[in-house]
Structure 1
Amino acid sequence: MAKKSTIQTEKVNTHIVEWLKNYANSAKVNGFVIGISGGVDSAVTSTLCAQTGLKVLCVEMPIHQAESQVSRAKEHIEQLKKRFPNVSNVQTDLTETFESFKSAVPKTDDDAKVSLALANTRARIRMTSLYYLAGLHGLLVAGTGNKVEDFGVGFYTKYGDGGVDLSPIADLMKSDVYALGEFLEIPQSILTAAPTDGLFGDNRTDEDQLGASYDELEWAMLAAESGKTAGDFEGREKSVFEIYKRLNTSNKHKMDPIPVCIIPKTLK
C-alpha cells in the first residue's frame, strides 16, 4: 500500500508560497505564526511560510514533551533562522498552565476519558497561545494539517490544532508532505521520525492511535473516493479500509461545517 508522491515539488512549492503571500497581503497582516512540534508537517509549513519573506514566528509550546520532540523542533527552528532572516522564534512552556488546568477541573474515575480529554486540552491551550501571539504581532495562525488528517480521518483536535486561520498543506497527502520536505531540505531527523501528535506524554505514534500507517490511510482514502466498499477487499486491505471508514464517519463533526438550526421565516 506504500504510496510514492507524484507531485511536482518545485511547482507546488512556488504555488503554495504565492498563495500564502497573496492571502497575507489581502488580509493586511504582517505574516504567520506557527506551532513547531518537531514533526514533518510543521517543519514543511513553516518553511513554506518563511519563503514568503513575511514575518514568521515559530513557537515551541512544550507540555511534558519528550526530549526527542523538543530537540527536533529546536534543530528545525535553528536551521530555518539561518536560512531566512524573517524567521524568529519563542518558547512558551505551557506545562505549568496545563497542570493548573488539571487541578481546577472536576475529577472522574474514568481514566480513558480523562486521558483523551486532557490530550485535547493540550492542543487547545496551544491554540490559545498561538492566537495570543498572533494578536500581539498582527499575524495569521498557519495550520499544519495534511489532507489525510484534515479531510480523511479527522485526526486533529477540534478548536485545538484544528483552530487556524489558513491551511497551506491541507490539500497534500502525507506522502506529498514528505516529498516536499525532502525538496525543502528539512532536517533528516524529522523526515525519519515516526509521526506522533505528542499529546499523551508517552511514546505512542500516530499509527498506534489510528491502527494504520499514513500510507495505508492514503490508499484507503483514495479507494473510498473511487467508490470502493469494504466488500471489495480482504485481509489487511479490508481491515485498513474499515479503519478509515470508521474514523471518517465518527469524525465528521470535525470536518463538516458547524450545524446551524435555521428558524423558518414563518416563525420570525
Structure 2
Amino acid sequence: MQIEKVADHIINWLKDYATRANMNGFVVGVSGGIDSAVTSTLCAKTGMPTLCLEMPIHQGKNQVTRARKHIKELKHNFANVSDLEINLTPVFEQFKDAMPQSRETSTLDLSLANSRARLRMTTLYYFAGLHKYLVAGTGNKVEDFGVGFYTKYGDGGVDLSPIADLVKSEVYELGKYLNIIEDIMVAPPTDGLFGDSRSDEDQLGASYDELEWAMKSIEEGKTSLDFDGRQKEVFDIYSRLNRANQHKMKPIPVCEIPVHLKK
C-alpha cells in the first residue's frame, strides 16, 4: 500500500466532501482503539474543526486512559482539534431502569450493548447538529462489509466512512504512518460495549488477520471445502457472520407497491 498517498487521498476526500456539503467540520467518537484514533487524526489533518468526543458508559479504565492520551496528543499537534467528555453512564442506567426486565440474559446483554452504541450515536449527532459537523465513522472494511461487526444505527450510524475501504492490517499500517500512540497500536481491539475485558477476537472467534484471510479467500472464489483444520473453522466463522449480518450491509428493503394497485 502506498501509505502516504492513501493518507493524502483520504484527507482530501474528507475535506472535499465536507466543503461540497457546506459543513463546517467533523465530530468523531474516540474510544481508545486504533480505528477511532486513525479516523480522528485523518479528520484533524484536513485543517477543518474536529471535535473528539469521549462517551464513557461504565468504560474500562485502560480504554479511557488511551482515549485521553490520544486526544491530548492530537490537540498538541493540531490547533483545529477540540474535545469533550460526555459521561453517558447515568443516561444508560436511567434507560435500563425504564425498560422491562428480561429473563433472557444472553439477548438482554446484547440488546443493552447495542443500546450503548445507539446512545453514543445520538450524542454524536447532537453535537454534529449544534456545530454543523459531519459524523465521521470509524468502521474498517472487515467490520463494515465482511462480518458486520457493528451496531445498526449505533456506530453504523454515520455521515461518511473514511477508512471503510481498508482492512484492519491496513488501518494499523496507516496508524503507524500517522504516529498513533504506542498504547493504542498494541492494545487488543475491543468494542467496549459489555463493560468487561472481552476483545473483538473473543466475540468473533477469530482474529482480524484470520478474518482478512477468509475475506480474501472468498473474493478468490474459494469455499469451505478447500480448507481443513483451523483454516476451515475461520472460513466458516467468517461465512456465517457475513450471512447473518447482511441486513446491516444491504440498503433498507423497501416494499414496492405494484403500479396497478395504486390506480
TM-score normalised according to structure 1 size = 0.97
Paired position in structure 2 for 1:186: 180
Match of 2:89 among 73, 90, 95: 95
Aligned to 2:170, what secondary structure does the other structure show?
helix
Paired position in structure 2 for 1:4: none
The amino acid of 2:133's aligned partner reads L
Paired position in structure 2 for 1:46: 40
Q: CA–CA distance in 2 between the matches of 1:163 and 1:226?
A: 30
Paired position in structure 2 for 1:3: none
Match of 1:67 among 37, 61, 64: 61
- CA deviation vs aligned residue, 1:51-90 (integer Å, no higher than 9, x gap): 1000000000000000000000000000000000000000
Paired position in structure 2 for 1:169: 163
Aligned to 1:178, what secondary structure does the other structure show?
helix
Q: CA–CA distance in 2 between the matches of 1:174 and 1:109?
A: 36
The amino acid of 1:186's aligned partner reads I
Q: CA–CA distance in 1 between the matches of 2:10 and 2:247?
A: 28
Which 5+ residue runs of structure 1 have no aligned equivalent? 1-6
Instruction: Give how far 1:217 is off.
Output: 0.1
Instruction: Give how far 1:157 is off.
Output: 0.1
Q: Over aligned residue pairs, what C-alpha RMSD do you find?
A: 0.4
Matched, 1:254 2:262: no
Instruction: Give how far 1:225 is off.
Output: 1.2
**1:1-268 map, 5 Å:** 7-268=1-262
Aligned to 1:57, what secondary structure does the other structure show?
strand
Q: Percent identity?
A: 66
Q: CA–CA distance in 1 between the matches of 2:38 and 2:80?
A: 16
Instruction: Give how far 1:8 is off.
Output: 1.0
- CA deviation vs aligned residue, 1:28-59 (integer Å, no higher than 9, x gap): 01100000000000000000000100000000
Q: CA–CA distance in 1 between the matches of 2:147 and 2:220?
A: 16
Aligned to 1:156, what secondary structure does the other structure show?
coil
Q: CA–CA distance in 1 between the matches of 2:76 and 2:102?
A: 48
The amino acid of 2:44's aligned partner reads A
The amino acid of 2:201's aligned partner reads E
Which 5+ residue runs of structure 2 have no aligned equivalent? none
Aligned to 1:74, what secondary structure does the other structure show?
helix
Aligned to 1:88, what secondary structure does the other structure show?
strand
Aligned to 2:84, what secondary structure does the other structure show?
strand
Give every structure 1 segment of 4 or more consecutive aligned residues whose post-TM-superposition deviation is greater than 4 Å. Answer: none
Instruction: Give how far 1:108 is off.
Output: 1.1
Aligned to 2:134, what secondary structure does the other structure show?
strand
Q: CA–CA distance in 1 between the matches of 2:28 and 2:100?
A: 32
Instruction: Give how far 1:171 is off.
Output: 0.1
Aligned residues: 262
